[in-house]
Amino acid sequence: MNRIRLGVNVDHIATLRQSRGTKYPDPVIAAGVAELAGADQITIHLREDRRHIQERDVRIMRETIGTVMNLELAANRDVLEIACLVKPDLATLVPEKRAELTTEGGLAVVGREREVAATVEMLSRAGITVSLFINPDPAEVRASFECGARQIEIHTGFYADSRGERQRQELERIRVAAAEGARLGLQVAAGHGLDYVNTREVCHIPEIIELNIGHSIMSRSFFVGLDQAVREMIDILREEEVG
Ligand code: PXP
């Protein structure tokens, strides 16, 4: 049985807090509730512009998360130093552009292997498992492997944003990239833009062992509560993962 682990991204709780400069809602509490509901991992992104998650959140969550702490970060010196001190279980390298609404594309590893390998080495030396967030492209998968990453997270945003035949093609790209990752011995995760409808098909890809999902779960939590929103996503994973 290919049991898919659910990483719950709580950045959006911090976005709401930062929008008013209040103490609430606290992503630390959201992480605890998500874990109690069955999340296998908590994912947070410490952005260079600190638009949602703050250093305080990272430090406290290192103490409070009882499952797996996945820290998303760009290869920015200041954030890398924090990561090496805090030592999350998993660090996912993502690209970052100041003007973007969310992480828009995968990391360009091809052509930047030396630079990426140095960052992977720095984090690995601190005892952190490194994942690279990449587009569903076999060349990027191979480059990630060559850079020493243990895991890749395949960007599902293009799949999530498309429809019909185009969506089927995007799913196929994810399938091919996942197979290439597994062939190389990489752990294969996926995420971005996944919701209570489009996650089902992604679960049918046997090489995928982890999904990181934030926006759809947090959005549903407004209406049904975070506990139920997490449980409903876990139910989808259990129903759809391949035996
Ligand atoms: N994975 C990565 C690498 C991300 O950057 C994000 C967004 O922060 C997610 C997963 C979660 O995406 P979404 O909020 O669209 O579910």
Is 215 considered catalytic here? no
Average confidence score pLDDT of the chain: 96
State how far the Cα of 13 lies from the Cα of 102, in Å rounded to an integer.
14
* Closest C-alpha residue for ligand 1 atom 9: 192
18 burial level (CB within 10 Å; 0-12, 13-18, 19+): middle
Identify the pLDDT of residue 97: 72
243 band by pLDDT with thresholds 50, 70 and 90: low
Identify the pLDDT of residue 164: 97
State how far the Cα of 236 lies from the Cα of 192, in Å rounded to an integer.
16
Report, as an integer, the average pLDDT of 26-45: 98
For 217-229, write each residue's pLDDT tens digit. Answer: 999 999 999 999 9
Identify the pLDDT of residue 208: 98
With a pLDDT cut of 90, the percent of the chain lying above it is 94
Domain span at residue 127 reads 5-239
Residue of 5, 6, 9, 188 best suited for mutating to test ligand 1, as the one with most atoms within 8 Å of CB: 9
Number of domains in the chain: 1
State how far the Cα of 7 lies from the Cα of 106, in Å rounded to an integer.
18
Regarding pTM above 0.85, the answer is yes
Is 204 considered catalytic here? no
Looking at residue 189, which CATH number applies to its domain?
A: 3.20.20.70
Q: Kindly state the tokens that stand for 222.
A: 């407004």
Compute φ and ψ for 104, nearest 5 degrees.
-85, -35
Is 232 considered catalytic here? no
Beta bridge partners of 41: 7
Report, as an integer, the average pLDDT of 10-39: 98
State how far the Cα of 153 lies from the Cα of 192, in Å rounded to an integer.
10
Active-site residue, from 12, 52, 155, 192: 192
Ligand 1 geometric centre to CA of 71 (Å): 11
State how far the Cα of 153 lies from the Cα of 202, in Å rounded to an integer.
13
Identify the pLDDT of residue 120: 98
